[in-house]
C-alpha cells in the first residue's frame, strides 16, 4: 500500500510546472496484449521500419536542405521505466496516434538538443528557442515521417484506411512524456543532420498497435495458430459406412484412419438409404425466389423526423472555399506582399460550399451590390457525402 509519498518522477513533473494534460498524462498500465513483446512481433516491426529508412532520409534531407541520414532502427520490447532510463532529462515528445487502420498509441521522442538542431535547419535560424513555432516545425517533421510509414503500410498490408491524428509536439521533462503502459515496442534510430554529429530518436508503438501491425505484416506469433481445437488422432473403431465407397483418387487424411467403423443405419450416398423422417426435397427452379436485401441507406424514423424541429434554430458555419494547397513551413515563412499562391482548382471551376467543414454543394461566384456571393449550381448527393465520411 502506498504511504502517500510522491515518486521522483512526480516530483520532477511538479518542479517543471508542466501541464501534462497537453500530452495526455500517463495512464495506469493496461492489461498486457496477448502476444505483445514477442520476438516474431519485434522482428516484423523492425523489418518493416528498416524498409522505410531510405524514404525517411530523403524526406528530411528535402525539408532541411541538408544531407540527412537515418540509421537503424533497433527495435526492442520495453516498459516505461526501461525507456525513461535511456532518455535525457528534457525531451520533445510528439504524439502521433493512429486513429484508424491500426488504431492506438504511437509517438516520437527527440532529445531537446536534436529538436533544436532540426528546428534551426528548418527555420534557417541559429540558437533557436523551442517555442510554439519550433514545436509546429517538429510536428511537421513527424507528419512527414508518419506519412511515409502509412504509405508503406498500405502497400504491404492492403489496408487503405490507415490514418493518424495531427502530430502534437511539446518540450517537457521526460517524467511527463506520455508513454504506453505495459510492454511496448520502441525503435531507436541514429541520424546525422549534416553537422557530423550523431543524434538519437525514439519511436514508440503501443502494445495493441504493434500487435495489429505485426499480424497484418504476417508475423506467425501475432497471427496465432491457423487451426486449433480439433483432435486429429486416429479415428479407430469406426467401421465403414454402408453404401459409402471411397471417392476415387481421394487420399486419406493424415492421422484420421477409418478402420473398423461400424455401420451407421439410415445414411446413404449413392446406395445409402434415406435418413428416417426426411422426405425427398424437390428442387424445382420455379420455386427459387431471389433474395431481397434491405436498403443500405439509413432511413429516418417518424420520431427522428419530428425531433429535427428541436435544432432548427441552431447556427452553423457556412464557408465558401476557392481552393486549397499545401506548403512547407519554410515556404510559408518566406511569403510577403505580392506572393502568388497557386491553388488546386482550375480557373472557372465551381467553388466548394461547406457547412461545418463538410462539403454540401458547389457554386459559382457572383457580385451583388459590390458584395461577393455564390450561386448554388450543384447539391452534393447523400451518397457522395457518405463516401466522404467513409
pLDDT digits (tens, 9 = 90+) for 198-224: 888 999 999 999 999 999 988 444 444
Are 352 and 163 in contact by the 8 Å Cβ rule? The answer is no
Q: Cell 516474431 identifies what position?
A: 40
CA nearest to 59, candidates 178, 157, 130, 152: 152
CA nearest to 149, candidates 219, 74, 82, 51: 51
Q: Is residue 148 part of a domain?
A: yes
Task: Report the range of poorest mean pLDDT among 32-36, 57-61, 159-163, 183-187.
Answer: 32-36
Helical H runs in the chain?
A: 8-16, 39-50, 53-64, 80-86, 112-123, 132-157, 207-217, 220-223, 302-307, 329-333, 382-389
Q: Which grid cell is 308?
A: 429535427
Q: Cell 494547397 identifies what position?
A: 325
Residue 351 and residue 207 in one domain: no
Are 209 and 217 in contact by the 8 Å Cβ rule? The answer is no
Question: How far apart, in whole angstroms, are the C-alpha atoms of residue 317 and residue 191?
Answer: 45
Residue 216 and residue 354 in one domain: no
Q: Is residue 207 part of a domain?
A: yes
Cis geometry, peptide bond prior to residue 73 (ω within 30 degrees of 0): yes
Query: What angle (nearest 5°) sits at the alpha carbon of residue 210, between those of residues 214 and 168?
Result: 140
Question: How far apart, in whole angstroms, are the C-alpha atoms of residue 93 and residue 179?
Answer: 10
Q: Is residue 263 part of a domain?
A: no
Q: Is residue 309 part of a domain?
A: no
Phi first, then psi: what are they for 30, rounded to 5°?
-75, 170
Question: How far apart, in whole angstroms, are the C-alpha atoms of residue 311 and residue 284?
Answer: 56
pLDDT of residue 66: 81
Residue 359 and residue 211 in one domain: no
CA nearest to 182, candidates 159, 158, 209: 209
Q: Is residue 262 part of a domain?
A: no
CA nearest to 134, candidates 173, 80, 172, 92: 92
Are 342 and 321 in contact by the 8 Å Cβ rule? The answer is no
- Which of helix, strand or coil describes residue 281? coil
Residue 218 and residue 351 in one domain: no
Distance of alpha carbon 234 from its chain centroid, rounded? 46
Residue 171 and residue 31 in one domain: yes
Question: How far apart, in whole angstroms, are the C-alpha atoms of residue 256 and residue 238?
Answer: 10
Residue 219 and residue 349 in one domain: no
The total domain count for the chain is 2
Prediction pTM value: 0.51
pLDDT in tens, 274-284: 444 444 445 45
Residue 215 and residue 357 in one domain: no
Q: Is residue 304 part of a domain?
A: no
- Which of helix, strand or coil describes residue 102? coil
Q: Is residue 209 part of a domain?
A: yes
Last residue in a domain, options 223, 245, 269: 223
- List the CATH number of the domain containing 378: 2.30.330.10
- List the CATH number of the domain containing 100: 3.40.1550.10
Q: Is residue 308 part of a domain?
A: no
pLDDT of residue 257: 43
Phi first, then psi: what are they for 362, rounded to 5°?
-130, 155
pLDDT of residue 300: 54
Last residue in a domain, options 166, 189, 223: 223
pLDDT of 273 higher than 70: no
* Residue 360 lies in domain: 317-323+343-390
Last residue in a domain, options 175, 208, 223: 223
Q: Which of 351 and 30 is assigned the larger pLDDT? A: 351
Average pLDDT (112-131) is: 85
Task: Report the range of poorest mean pLDDT among 90-99, 211-220, 247-256, 307-316.
Answer: 247-256
Question: How far apart, in whole angstroms, are the C-alpha atoms of residue 93 and residue 110?
Answer: 6
pLDDT of residue 110: 94
User: Using 50, 70 and 90 to split pLDDT, how confident is the model at 197?
Assistant: confident
Amino acid at each position: 500500500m502506498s504511504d502517500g509519498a510522491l515518486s521522483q518522477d512526480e516530483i520532477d513533473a511538479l518542479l517543471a510546472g508542466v501541464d501534462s494534460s497537453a500530452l495526455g498524462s500517463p495512464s495506469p498500465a493496461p492489461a498486457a496484449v496477448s502476444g505483445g513483446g514477442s520476438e516474431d512481433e519485434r522482428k516484423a516491426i523492425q523489418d518493416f521500419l528498416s524498409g522505410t529508412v531510405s524514404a525517411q532520409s530523403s524526406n528530411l534531407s528535402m525539408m532541411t536542405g541538408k544531407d540527412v541520414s537515418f540509421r537503424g532502427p533497433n527495435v526492442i520490447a520495453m516498459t516505461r521505466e526501461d525507456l525513461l532510463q535511456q532518455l535525457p532529462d528534457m525531451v520533445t515528445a510528439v504524439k502521433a496516434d493512429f486513429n484508424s487502420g491500426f488504431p492506438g498509441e504511437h509517438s516520437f521522442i527527440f532529445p531537446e538538443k536534436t529538436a533544436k538542431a532540426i528546428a534551426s535547419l528548418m527555420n534557417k535560424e541559429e540558437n533557436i528557442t523551442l517555442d510554439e513555432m519550433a514545436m509546429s516545425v517538429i510536428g511537421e517533421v513527424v507528419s512527414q515521417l508518419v506519412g511515409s510509414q502509412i504509405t508503406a503500410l498500405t502497400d504491404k498490408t492492403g489496408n487503405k484506411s490507415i490514418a493518424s491524428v495531427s502530430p502534437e509536439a511539446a518540450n517537457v521533462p521526460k517524467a511527463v512524456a506520455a508513454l504506453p503502459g505495459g510492454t511496448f515496442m520502441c525503435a531507436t534510430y541514429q541520424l546525422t543532420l549534416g553537422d557530423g554529429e550523431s543524434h538519437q530518436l525514439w519511436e514508440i508503438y503501443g502494445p495493441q498497435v504493434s500487435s495489429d501491425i505485426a499480424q497484418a505484416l504476417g508475423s506467425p506469433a501475432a497471427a496465432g495458430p491457423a487451426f486449433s481445437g480439433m483432435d486429429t488422432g486416429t479415428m479407430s473403431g469406426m467401421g465403414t459406412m454402408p453404401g459409402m465407397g471411397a471417392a476415387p483418387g481421394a487420399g486419406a487424411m493424415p492421422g484420421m484412419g477409418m478402420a473398423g467403423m461400424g455401420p451407421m443405419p439410415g445414411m446413404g450416398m449413392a446406395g445409402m438409404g434415406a435418413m428416417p423422417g426426411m422426405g425427398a426435397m424437390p428442387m424445382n427452379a420455379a420455386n427459387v425466389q431471389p433474395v431481397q436485401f434491405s436498403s443500405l441507406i439509413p432511413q429516418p424514423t417518424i420520431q427522428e423526423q419530428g425531433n429535427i424541429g428541436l435544432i432548427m434554430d441552431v447556427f452553423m458555419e457556412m464557408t465558401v472555399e476557392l481552393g486549397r494547397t499545401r506548403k512547407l513551413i519554410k515556404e510559408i515563412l518566406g511569403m510577403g506582399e505580392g506572393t502568388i499562391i497557386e491553388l488546386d482548382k482550375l480557373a472557372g471551376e465551381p467553388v466548394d460550399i461547406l457547412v461545418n467543414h463538410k462539403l454540401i454543394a458547389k457554386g459559382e461566384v457572383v457580385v451583388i451590390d459590390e458584395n461577393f456571393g455564390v450561386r448554388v449550381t450543384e447539391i452534393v448527393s447523400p451518397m457522395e457525402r457518405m463516401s466522404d465520411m467513409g
